[in-house]
Structures are given as structure tokens and as C-alpha cells.
Amino acid sequence: MTTDSLRSGPGATGPGATGRGSRDGRGSRDNRSSRDGRHSARLPVREHLPARAPATAAGVPVLDVVLPVYNEEKDLRPCVVRLNGHLARTFPYPFRITVADNASTDSTPAVAAALAAELPGVRYVRLEEKGRGRALRTVWSASDAPVLAYMDVDLSTDLNALLPLVAPLISGHSDLAIGSRLARSSRVVRGPKREFISRAYNLILRSSLAAGFSDAQCGFKAIRREVAERLLPMVEDSGWFFDTELLVLAERAGLRIHEVPVDWIDDPDSTVHIVRTATEDLKGVWRVGRALAVGALPLDRLARPFGDDPRDRALTGVPRGLARQLVGFCFVGVLSTLFYLALYSLFRLGVGPQIANGGALLVSAVANTAANRRLTFGVRGRGGAVRHQAQGLVVFAIGLALTSGSLAALGAASGAPSHGTELAVLITANLAATVLRFLLLRAWVFPERRTTERDEGEAPLPATAGLPVRNESEDVR
């Protein structure tokens, strides 16, 4: 991608006007270790932004609202004037409006430059390539505001939702916030075709990527700057799929996404090409889904990212070590047993008891190993996952021998036992195998990591870190 030019109007102040630059000592809050050029992936502690920050006097805004535009010479001025007036009346913090021109070919650049010269809180950024994602990445990466947002220039979303959108980010409660047109309390006016496409797309996201958010493509989103700094290098798309990919990565990394029901009126003059956009979105869904399936995304950089994560605190009365692992193992074991029995009953409808038992035990063993890997023994990332599953299958073979032997002994003793008797014998045999399974998992499959397993020459991480380290250069794709 070619270097985008940043042309800021007179309203731009601070480092965001000329590039990334200094962040007023932000590095001191970043919990980073400069040892040997390596640092943990931990983000700063979430903090409520002060109402009267010293940076305010220097002209640094709390909120930077980006309006990506392409050939919007007619609607740009009234929309920017309306947004600026609304923020001036209702928003209690300093703000900035950034018009990001995506290589417009009409008079949009002249209109944007005039607005930047006329309104102190408005600046203009010119990009020589199209793409909403490219515009957001460029402006957000250079902004000095602690809260970053964007909205469609047609202002289809009611502006009264803007303060509820960014409030959880200002308070430090959430990491990202999105407007939702599909929430139960949202009030939306649009044609049936767009309604169908929107709901179908979000259904695809839920079924293929297990997305938990309700509306991926509503042009009304916000993010904290320190979160954007970690997420943006991981997002590949530069078009309409950009914010969907951003949300999927954030959700998979365990970040907190706040949803705001919005009132939304369709713009009949929208220049969005629905078919082309839908096609590109589906390609993006396939790409991200495949990357998630093979573990190619470096989500471990964001795992347990914040220094105020309560799970990192050493609390009295909370089981640790062996006791904690036993609690996790029992919880996973109960779920796995129920899953196994359900599978056995299902398979037993079509095959004999031995085949049904083997198939149910195999499927549940894979799920059990994965669950214990993550929940009981706290192993994250994809390193060693194949080896762990292979070792888990050995443990599975032991369980299979015990349960199959129990079934064979039952058949020899009673000839044609009832289904209830089979289940009772299987439960007893599984309980006998559970103790041995836990010991093997703890001592062989997921042994406690020793200091000698660290990288040679690497000093141990603080006890509260618990995160993999990486080179600073890994942030760059």
C-alpha cells in the first residue's frame, strides 16, 4: 500500500495532525519490559478518563470522530455542521471531527478543506486510495485522542446514541462499542432488501465465526486508542469488511464489546454497491474463518491483555495449584460425561454397544482434552496442541479398555442387559478411569512448566504477567 498523505486543516492540533509522534509519556503506562527488546502483550490498566485532563488545555481531544467519505460533495457540509453542533451542545469532553477523504474525484476535497478552515474542531485528511478500512486505519493510527470513533457521513444513525456509545470507553468499562440496528429496542426504517441482507449477513457471522455481537456493519463504532494500537496491525481488510474483522478478532481475544441500540433511517441515496460489498464480506468471512480454524491468528498477543484483569489477582480462599486443577477437572469431567452419555445413547440407536461406546468415547475424549487444556491447566495458544491431543488419545485408549472391558464382562454375565444397566456399568467404569486420567493429564500431558523451558537467557516474567513475550517487530505485518 502506498503511503497516504495526511493533509490537516487549521483545526488539527497535537501529534495527531502530523503523524504518530509523542504520546505524552504513554509508554510509562504500557507495562512493557524493555529487557532485550522484548515485552509482554499486556495493555495498560483501563482507567476512567479524567473530566479535566491536563492534555485538554493543550488542545488534545478526548474523542476523535472519523467520517470516511468518497464523492460526498453534496452531503458533506450539512452533515459535518450538524455533527459539530450536536457535539458542541451535548458532549462534555473536547472532541475532534476528522473528514477522511477516500480519493474522491469530485469537489469533496475542496468542501472538506473549507470546513477544516471554518470550524476549529474539524480537520481534513486526504487518502490517495479508496477503502473505508484504509481510511480508519490511517486516521486512528495517527490520532492522539484516547477514544476513537467513526460514523457514516449520511448520519443515518440518530446522534443521541453517540454519548452512550463512547461513555463505556471513557469510563474504562469496555474496549470497543458498536451501534446495533438489530437490537430488540432499536427503531429502524429501511427497505426489506437491506433488512434481509443485514440479518442474513449477521446470521452467517454467528454460524460460521461464532460471533456474539448482533450488528457487524452498522456504521457507528468506537474503540479505545490503546486497544486499536494492538488490533489494527492484525486486521488485513482495507474495505467494508474491516470493522467486522476488527470485531471478530476483539471478541476472540476476550475484549469487552459494548452494544448500543440505535435509531436508524436508511439513506436512499447511499452509494454503497450492495452486491459487490456482500461478495467482499463473504470472502472476508471465509478468510478469517480459515485463519481461526488453523490457529494462524496471533490472538495470544491479546489474551488476558489488561493489568486490571481480576483473574490475575492472588486472592485468599481461591483454590490454586492442585486444588484449582481438581475443581476445573471435575467441572470438565461432568460436562464430558454428560456429552459422552448423550453421544452413546445416540449412536446406540444404529449400532452395537461396543461401536457406540468407542465412537462416543473418541469424540468426547477430543473435546475433553481441549477443554482441560484450556480450562484446567491454563494452556493457551496453539503450541503443542497436536501433541496434547495425541497424548490425550493414549489416555482415551486406557478409558476405552476399561469401559469396553466392563461392557464385555456385563454381556458375558447377563447375556442381554438392559440399556439402563449398560449406562450404570459405563458410569462406574468411567469413574474408575477418571482418577487415572487426571493423574496422566497432570503429570504427562500437561506437566507444570519449569524455568528451564523458557527461552535461553530470558529472565522470568513477573508472577502477574502470565503472558507470552514477543519481539517488538512482530507488531508489524
Q: 52 with 58: CB under 8 angstroms?
A: no
Q: 205-253 pLDDT, tens per residue?
A: 887 887 888 888 888 999 999 999 988 988 988 888 898 899 988 888 8
Q: Are 154 and 270 in contact (CB under 8 A)?
A: yes
Q: Report, in this order, helix, strand and coil percent for the chain, each rounded to 5.
A: 50, 10, 35
Q: What is the spatial distance between Cα 351 and Cα 371, in angstroms, rounded to a whole number?
A: 28
Cell of 341: 452419555
Q: How far apart are the first and last CA of the chain?
A: 12
Residue whose C-alpha cell is 475484549: 255
188 forms beta bridges with 264
- State residue 221's pLDDT score: 94
Tell me the CA distances in angstroms from 418 to 347, 410, 423, 429, 452, one per residue in order.
16, 10, 9, 17, 54
- How confident is the prediction along the chain (477 residues), in pLDDT tens digits per residue? 333 444 344 344 333 333 333 334 333 334 333 333 333 456 667 777 776 554 444 578 999 999 999 999 998 999 999 999 999 999 999 999 999 998 899 999 999 999 999 998 899 999 998 888 999 999 999 999 999 999 988 888 899 999 999 999 999 889 999 999 888 888 888 777 777 877 888 788 887 887 888 888 888 999 999 999 988 988 988 888 898 899 988 888 888 999 999 998 877 665 556 667 777 878 888 888 888 777 777 766 666 566 566 666 655 655 556 777 888 888 888 888 888 888 988 888 888 888 888 888 788 888 888 888 888 887 876 777 888 888 888 887 877 788 778 878 887 887 777 878 888 887 888 777 777 778 888 888 888 654 333 333 333 333 333 333 333 333 333
Amino acid symbol at 338: L
Half-sphere exposure of 145 (CA within 13 A, CB side): 28
AA identity, residue 199: R
User: Is residue 65 within 8 Å of 83, Cβ to Cβ?
Assistant: yes
Identify the DSSP state of 452. Answer: G
Nearest one of 295, 206, 198 to 251, comparing CA atoms: 206
Burial (0-12, 13-18, 19+ Cβ within 10 Å), 365: buried
Q: Which pLDDT belongs to residue 445?
A: 85
Question: What is the model's pLDDT at position 42?
Answer: 63
pLDDT of residue 317: 57
pTM of the predicted structure, to 2 decimals: 0.59
**Beta strands, E only, 8-146:** 38-40, 63-69, 95-102, 122-127
pLDDT recorded at residue 449: 53
Give the residue from 338, 368, 336, 343 showing the smallest Cα distance to 357: 343
Q: Which three cell numbers stand for residue 351?
A: 449400532
